[in-house]
C-alpha cells in the first residue's frame, strides 16, 4: 500500500473544487463555510473571501429566507433536506436576483453518528425554470389562443350559417327577380300583342324636338314612311282640313301644365296617297318635369270609322223608325176622325170602307213593331228555334193569305212539292212572308210572284221570284245588313230595313244560306236554303 501515493486533505479538497456541481462544506449550526468550489462561488456571486464566514455573514441577503434555518436543522438533527425549483434571492454583482435551485443539505456523520459537516450541493436551474415558466406561459397563451380560435371558429361557423342562409335568400331573391323580369318582358310582349290585336296606333312625342315615334299602324294611317322619327308638322298635314286647327290646339293644350296634360280627341285622317278617309279617336297624356315643362307626350290612336258609321246608322234608323211608325198612325187617326163624324149615320156605306182602312193602318203598325221586336231578339241572341218536320209546299200554300185575299197578285208554287224539312215552321213562314211582301212593295207591277222549291245536294232551296225593277248590283251585298234600305226605298215605301236582316239571321241559325240574284229591269230572285 505504501507504494500508492495518497493525496493530502488540501489536495483532495482542491480536486473536489474542480467539479462542475456547485459544492460547499459547512460546519456548525451557523453553517460556517469550510470550503466552496468555484461553481458554488459563481452561484452565490461571491469570491473566496467568503470561506471561513458563517452563511449569514457571507450572504447577508439570505436573512429572512428559509435556508439559514434549514442548515441549523440539518446540523442539529442530522437530516438531509433537499429541494427542487427552489427560489433564492441572492446579491450578484451588487444586484438582488432570484435564482432557482435544486439543492441538497446533507448532514455528514462520523462513526459515532455525530454530525461533523454539512455537504451542500446545488444546481442552478434558473434556465430550466424560466424555460419551463416560458413554456407554461406559452402553453397558457396557446390555450387562450386556442380557446379564442375555437370561439372565433364557432363565430365563423355561425357566420357561415348566416351567410349560407343569406346566400340562399339572395339566390331566392335573384330567382324572384328573374321571374319578375321574365314576367315584365312577357307582359311587355303581351301589351304589344294587345296593342296590335286592338289595332291601336301609338305615338310618343318629344316636345323639345317636335319629333315623335309611332308604331307601324299609326304610320300606315298617316301614310308616313317607315323611318323611326316623324315630324309632328308632317303628320298633322294629313288631318282633314276642317279638323286640323282644332287638333293642333288640343295638342298645345295637352302639353301645357295647367291643362293637366290630358288629350282626348276625334278627327278625320285623309291618307295622302289613296285619299281614303278614316275617323280616329286619339287619347294621350303628357309627363311634365319638376319645373312644369313637358317631357313626353304619348298615347294611342284608334280607328273608330266603323263605330261612327254604326252610330250614324242608328241615328238614321231611329228617325226612320219614328217616321215609319208615324205614317200609319197618322192615317189611322184621320180614319178614326172620319168615322167619328159618321157616328150619327150608322147606315153610311163609307163606314165599312173606313174600318178596313183603319185595320190596314193597324196591320202596318203591328208589322213595324214586330220587326222591331224581332230585330231586338236577334240582337240579344234570343232567337230560339222550335223545329218540326213539315212539307215546304204546304207552308207556301198557307202563307201570305193577306195578299191572296186582296186578289191583286198571283202566287205560283212550283218545283219539288214533296220536299220536307226539319225547321222552325213559324220562323220560315216569317222569312217567306217578308220576301213576298217586299216583292209586292218593290215590284208592285209584277203581278206574278213565283214561289219555287228545289232540292240541291243536301239542301232545300226556296226562291221568291218577281219581275220587277231588280236591284243595283252595287247594293246587293248590303241588303241583308241591319237598317239597310236602298235610297229610293225611303221615299216611296214604308219599312225599317230590318226584314232581310232578320231573315238572314233566322236562316243562319238553321245552318242555311240566303241571297239574291237580280238583274236591273228584269226582276229579282230572293232565295234561301235549309239543310235536309
Ligand atoms: P225594308 O223593306 O223595311 O226596307 P228589307 O230588309 O226587307 O227592309 O229590305 C231591304 C231593302 O232591299 C229594301 O229597302 C229594298 O230597297 C230592297 N229590296 C228588298 N226586296 C226587293 C225586291 N223584291 N226588289 C227590289 N228591291 C228589294
59 CB within 6 A, ligand 1: no
486 CB within 6 A, ligand 1: yes
- Nearest CA, atom 27, ligand 1: 442
Residue 494 pLDDT grade (very low, low, confident, very high; cuts 50, 70, 90): low
Domain 9-130, CATH class in plain words: alpha beta
CATH of 388-531, one of 3.20.20.70, 3.90.550.10, 1.10.3860.10, 3.30.565.10: 3.30.565.10
What share of the chain has pLDDT > 70, as a percent? Answer: 95
Residue closest to 126 by CA, chosen among 104, 105, 102: 102
496 CB within 6 A, ligand 1: yes
DSSP 399: S
Q: Which residues contact 104 (CB under 8 A, 6 or more apart)?
A: 80, 81, 82, 119, 120, 121, 122
The architecture (CATH level 2) of 198-307 comes to: 2-Layer Sandwich (3.30)
Domain with CATH 3.30.565.10 in the chain: 388-531
523 CB within 6 A, ligand 1: no
Reading the block at residue 426, the C-alpha cell is: 213559324
DSSP 166-228: HHHHHHHHHHHHHHHHHHHHHHHHHHHHHHHHTTEEEEEEETTTTEEEE-HHHHHHHT--SSS
Which of 205-219, 371-385, 482-496 ranks highest by mean pLDDT?
Answer: 205-219
- Nearest CA, atom 20, ligand 1: 438
Residue closest to 518 by CA, chosen among 490, 459, 482, 478: 478
- Residue 320 Cα to ligand 1 midpoint, Å, equals 15
At residue 215, φ and ψ (nearest 5 deg) are -80, 175
The reported pTM is 0.48
Reading the block at residue 371, the C-alpha cell is: 220587326
Q: Which atom of ligand 1 is nearest to the CA of 466?
A: 23
485 CB within 6 A, ligand 1: yes
- Residue 464 Cα to ligand 1 midpoint, Å, equals 13
482 CB within 6 A, ligand 1: no
The overall average pLDDT reported for the chain is 87
Domain with CATH 3.30.450.20 in the chain: 9-130, 198-307
Testing ligand 1's pocket by substitution, the residue of 433, 489, 528 carrying the most ligand atoms inside 8 A of its CB is 489
- Residue 131 Cα to ligand 1 midpoint, Å, equals 128
Indicate the length of the chain as a whole number. Answer: 532
What is the per-residue pLDDT across 66-88, written as a single tens digit (0 to 9) for each? Answer: 999 999 999 999 999 999 889 99
449 CB within 6 A, ligand 1: no
pLDDT of residue 486: 60
**Distance of alpha carbon 154 from alpha carbon 162, whole angstroms:** 12
Q: Is the pLDDT of residue 311 over 90?
A: no
CATH tag, 309-380: 1.10.287.130
438 CB within 6 A, ligand 1: yes
What is the per-residue pLDDT across 353-398, written as a single tens digit (0 to 9) for each? Answer: 899 889 888 888 888 888 888 878 877 777 888 999 999 999 999 9
Q: Which atom of ligand 1 is nearest to the CA of 371?
A: 3
Amino acid at each position: 500500500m505504501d507504494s500508492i501515493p495518497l493525496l493530502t486533505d488540501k489536495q483532495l479538497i482542491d480536486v473536489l473544487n474542480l467539479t462542475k456541481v456547485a459544492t460547499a462544506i459547512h460546519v456548525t449550526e451557523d453553517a460556517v463555510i469550510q470550503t466552496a468550489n468555484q461553481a458554488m462561488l459563481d452561484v452565490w456571486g461571491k469570491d473566496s473571501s467568503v470561506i471561513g464566514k458563517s452563511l449569514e455573514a457571507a450572504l447577508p441577503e439570505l436573512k429572512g429566507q428559509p435556508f439559514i434555518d434549514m442548515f441549523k436543522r440539518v446540523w442539529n438533527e442530522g437530516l438531509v433536506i433537499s429541494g427542487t425549483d427552489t427560489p433564492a434571492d441572492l446579491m450578484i454583482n451588487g444586484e438582488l436576483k432570484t435564482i432557482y435551485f435544486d439543492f441538497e443539505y446533507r448532514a455528514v456523520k462520523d462513526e459515532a453518528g455525530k454530525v461533523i459537516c454539512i455537504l451542500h450541493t446545488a444546481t442552478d436551474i434558473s434556465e430550466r425554470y424560466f424555460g419551463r415558466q416560458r413554456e407554461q406561459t406559452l402553453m397558457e397563451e396557446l390555450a387562450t389562443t386556442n380557446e379564442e380560435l375555437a370561439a372565433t371558429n364557432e363565430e365563423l361557423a355561425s357566420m357561415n350559417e348566416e351567410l349560407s342562409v343569406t346566400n340562399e335568400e339572395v339566390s331566392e331573391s335573384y330567382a324572384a327577380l328573374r321571374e319578375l323580369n321574365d314576367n315584365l318582358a312577357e307582359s311587355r310582349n303581351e301589351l304589344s300583342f294587345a296593342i296590335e290585336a286592338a289595332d291601336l296606333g301609338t305615338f310618343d312625342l318629344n316636345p323639345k324636338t317636335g319629333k315623335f315615334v309611332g308604331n307601324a299602324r299609326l304610320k300606315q294611317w298617316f301614310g308616313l314612311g317607315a323611318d323611326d322619327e316623324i315630324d309632328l308638322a308632317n303628320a298633322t298635314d294629313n288631318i282633314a282640313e276642317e279638323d286640323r286647327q282644332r287638333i293642333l290646339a288640343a295638342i298645345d293644350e295637352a302639353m301645357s301644365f295647367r291643362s293637366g296634360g290630358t288629350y282626348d280627341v276625334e278627327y278625320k285622317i285623309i291618307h295622302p296617297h289613296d285619299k281614303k278617309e278614316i275617323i280616329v279617336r286619339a287619347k294621350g297624356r303628357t309627363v311634365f318635369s319638376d319645373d312644369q315643362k313637358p317631357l313626353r307626350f304619348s298615347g294611342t290612336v284608334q280607328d273608330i270609322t266603323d263605330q261612327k258609321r254604326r252610330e250614324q246608322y242608328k241615328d238614321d234608323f231611329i228617325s226612320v223608325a219614328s217616321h215609319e211608325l208615324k205614317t200609319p198612325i197618322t192615317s189611322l187617326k184621320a180614319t178614326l176622325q172620319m168615322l167619328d163624324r159618321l157616328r150619327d149615320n150608322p147606315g153610311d156605306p163609307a163606314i165599312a170602307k173606313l174600318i178596313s182602312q183603319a185595320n190596314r193602318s193597324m196591320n202596318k203598325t203591328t208589322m213595324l213593331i214586330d220587326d222591331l221586336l224581332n230585330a231586338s231578339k236577334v240582337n240579344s241572341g234570343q232567337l230560339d228555334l222550335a223545329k218540326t218536320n213539315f212539307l215546304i209546299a204546304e207552308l207556301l200554300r198557307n202563307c201570305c193569305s193577306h195578299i191572296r185575299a186582296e186578289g191583286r197578285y198571283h202566287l205560283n208554287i212550283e218545283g219539288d212539292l214533296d220536299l220536307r224539312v226539319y225547321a222552325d215552321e213559324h220562323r220560315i213562314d216569317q222569312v217567306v212572308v217578308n220576301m213576298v211582301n217586299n216583292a209586292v212593295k218593290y215590284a208592285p207591277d209584277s203581278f206574278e210572284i213565283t214561289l219555287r222549291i228545289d232540292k240541291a245536294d243536301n239542301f232545300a232551296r226556296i226562291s221568291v221570284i218577281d219581275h220587277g225593277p231588280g236591284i243595283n248590283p252595287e247594293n246587293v251585298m248590303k241588303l241583308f245588313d241591319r237598317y239597310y234600305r236602298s235610297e229610293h226605298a225611303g221615299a216611296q215605301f214604308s219599312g225599317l230595313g230590318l226584314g232581310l236582316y232578320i231573315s238572314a239571321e233566322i236562316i243562319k241559325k238553321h245552318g242555311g244560306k240566303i241571297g239574291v240574284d237580280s238583274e236591273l229591269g228584269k226582276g229579282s230572285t230572293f232565295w234561301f236554303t235549309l239543310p235536309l
